């Protein structure tokens, strides 16, 4: 099972990335646990300075932009 984390403080872009991630997981059929990381100190532990960010299995895949569901699916492979 993949562990997916959305890094962001709850802004509209962060919420959109979360929704797109849910759609990507559903469409791909990949088993995944999606969680939000909203505390600035926790976000900084990933070395991310700009949100939203997508983290898959502990690896930052994207930061500073809202990926589409299709782009997120490519990161899940």
Catalytic residues: 11, 14
7 close to 48: Cβ distance less than 8 angstroms: yes
In angstroms, the CA 17 to CA 52 distance is 7
Q: Which residues pair with 54 in a beta bridge?
A: 6, 62
């Amino acid at each position: 099972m993949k562990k997916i984390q959305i890094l962001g403080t709850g802004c509209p872009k962060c919420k959109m990335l979360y929704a797109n991630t849910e759609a990507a997981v559903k469409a791909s059929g990949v088993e995944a646990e999606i969680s939000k990381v909203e505390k600035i100190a926790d976000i900084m532990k990933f070395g991310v300075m700009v949100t939203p960010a997508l983290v898959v299995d502990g690896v930052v895949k994207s930061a500073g932009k809202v990926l589409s569901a299709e782009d997120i699916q490519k990161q899940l492979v």
